[in-house]
Amino acid sequence: MSNQQRSFFFNVDWLTVFIYLALCTIGVLSIHSAVFDPKNQSIVDLDTNYGKQFMFVIIAIVLGIFILLLESRFLSALAPAIYCVTTLLLILVLVIGRNVGGNQAWISLPGGFRLQPSEFAKFATCLLLARYLSGANIKVSEPKSFAIAAGIIFFPMILILLQPDAGSTLVFSSLLFVLYREGLSPYFLILEGLFIALFVLTLKLNNLPLVIGGIVVVAAIIIFLFKRNRKLMLTMLIGAGILITFVFSVQFLYTKVLKPHQKVRIDIVLGLTSDPRGKGYNVNQSKIAIGSGKLWGKGYMNGTQTKYSFVPEQSTDYIFCTVGEEFGFAGSVTVLGLYLLLVLRIIYIAERQRSPFSRIYGYGVASIIFFHVVINIGMTIGIVPSIGIPLPLISYGGSSLISFTIMLFILIKLDSNRMGMIYA
């Protein structure tokens, strides 16, 4: 125990901190470029988004240092409480929340700031999930444990879906990686991959007999090739059944459950419709901005598409356009490289933990960051339907930045204490 009291920064993983700071800096600079107004040049002007973001970064760093000061065991102990608080906030936002852009996702705070509870629900859920799964005799592969773990994940999802913020809701599905790591059957992961593939195929081909026929033929071939393996045969039959059911439900989901604007977004990504001036305007302009960056980009603050507001939402959801346009492919590689390095580093950190709580939590953090990055950037380049979720640490927004900071610094704190006691 005496070890930990030597310094706040003892055993801190500096590489993670460095990536964190790099991404925050890129964020402030990109927002600065996106909303720069020559009449107002100060970077610490609180009337501007980059000024505010700069302030958020300072607050976040202070908060990060504060987290490093905490006792590690509190984090595990407080997990249920934090989960409860964010759940309450998620309910509260449905009652007193401010509706911005069709989503009732914000709670107004004094001073003109707004709080987005769904951002905080992400790490709260990670914490509780880690706490539950790290418990003795809990095995995800067992139906009961799996059900409880799934419940922890689904509960905030349902509340967020009521806002209705489909993007943030989907983020929680990334926690499937955590369950997989902790022993969930790989079939779930495979099934999820197949679901996505079949969803696309069903809508794109618009030919149910062909898709179902394909599933039957593939299953039959596998069964034929491995006819000795009776277990596999059974799995295949069940799997094929699930997939066929899914294919039928896609049509229903697509026509009955999805809202028209969501349907259109999916259609645009699949190339079923094209509406560059209307529904597809955002994505089209975003592709133009990124695509026109070429190899080295147009240079900082020289992006015509982002600077002259052709790209909408450019400091929040479409912030990657600024990077793509002004720094080109080189900038894209750098930013994506930083994210990949970050999530791989987090997995590495998670795996070196002795405490299952820390490990599970680490995987949760990696999954959520990864999901955000892929969906957000995928959306800006038109391979993922338009879903409004921020790019971690870069997009403008205090709630998002602070939430990711807390998420990451909790991991850093847990990691710095990896040689200490196992709390859970």
Closest approach, Cβ 11 to another protein, in A, equals: 19
C-alpha dihedral, 265 to 266 to 270 to 274, nearest 10°: -30
Rounded Cα–Cα distance for residues 147 and 154 (Å): 10
* Residue 182 DSSP SS3: coil
- Does 28 contact another protein by CB under 8 A? no
Q: Is 304 in the site for another protein (CB under 8 A)?
A: yes
Determine, following the binding rule CB under 8 A, whether residue 22 of this chain makes contact with another protein.
no
Residue 291, exposed/middle/buried by CB under 10 A (0-12, 13-18, 19+)? Answer: middle
Pull the structure tokens for residue 219. Answer: 């299953």
DSSP code at position 163? T
Least Å from the CB of residue 304 to another protein: 4
User: What is the distance between the alpha carbons of residues 120 and 72, in angstroms, rounded to a whole number?
Assistant: 19
3-class SS at 73? helix
Q: What is the dihedral of CA 309, 312, 315, 316, to 10 degrees?
A: 180
∠ Cα 282 285 288 (to 5°): 150
Amino acid at 420: G
Least separation, in Å, of the C-beta of 162 and another protein? Answer: 29
Return the amino acid letter for 414.
L
381 binds another protein (CB under 8 A): yes
397 in helix, strand or coil?
A: coil
Residue span binding another protein (CB under 8 A) among the ranges 173-181, 222-230, 235-243, 401-409 = 173-181
344 lies in the binding site for another protein (CB under 8 A): yes
Residues contacting residue 192 through CB under 8 Å, at least 6 positions apart: 176
Stretch that binds another protein, among 13-21, 74-82, 258-266, 285-293 (CB under 8 A): 285-293
Cβ-based nearer residue to another protein, 115 or 130: 130
User: In whole angstroms, what is the distance from residue 263 CA to residue 259 CA?
Assistant: 6
Calpha distance 279→410 (Å, rounded): 40
378 binds another protein (CB under 8 A): yes
**Residue 390 binds another protein (CB under 8 A):** no
Calpha distance 375→386 (Å, rounded): 8
Beta bridge partner(s), residue 421: none
Asked if 180 interacts with another protein (CB under 8 A), we say: yes
Of 16-24, 69-77, 160-168, 340-348: span binding another protein (CB under 8 A): 340-348
Q: Which of 17, 194, 208, 288 binds another protein (CB under 8 A)?
A: 288
Stretch that binds another protein, among 13-21, 58-66, 247-255, 346-354 (CB under 8 A): 346-354
What DSSP state is assigned to residue 40? B
422 binds another protein (CB under 8 A): no
Residue 310 is a binding residue for another protein (CB under 8 A): yes
User: Applying CB under 8 A, which part among 4-12, 41-49, 157-165, 307-315 lies near another protein?
Assistant: 307-315
Q: Which is nearer to another protein, 262 or 292 (CB)?
A: 292
Q: What is the CA radius of gyration of the chain?
A: 23
Contact 188, 176 (CB under 8 A): yes
Is residue 115 part of the contact set for another protein (CB under 8 A)? no
Contact status: 197 vs another protein (CB under 8 A): no
Told to check if 308 binds another protein by CB under 8 A, we report yes
Out of 28, 223, 290, 319, point to the residue binding another protein (CB under 8 A): 290
Q: 268 vs 347, which CB is nearer to another protein?
A: 347
Residue 147 Cβ vs another protein, minimum distance, rounded to whole Å: 20
Q: In this chain, which of 202, 305, 316, 322 binds another protein, going by CB under 8 A? A: 305
- Which of 134, 197, 195, 200 minimizes the C-alpha distance to 357? 134
Q: Does 203 bind another protein (CB under 8 A)?
A: no
Site residues (vs another protein, CB under 8 A): 177, 180-183, 186, 189, 285, 287-295, 304-305, 307-310, 324-325, 328-329, 332-333, 336, 339-340, 343-344, 347, 350-351, 356, 363, 366, 370, 373-374, 377-378, 381, 383
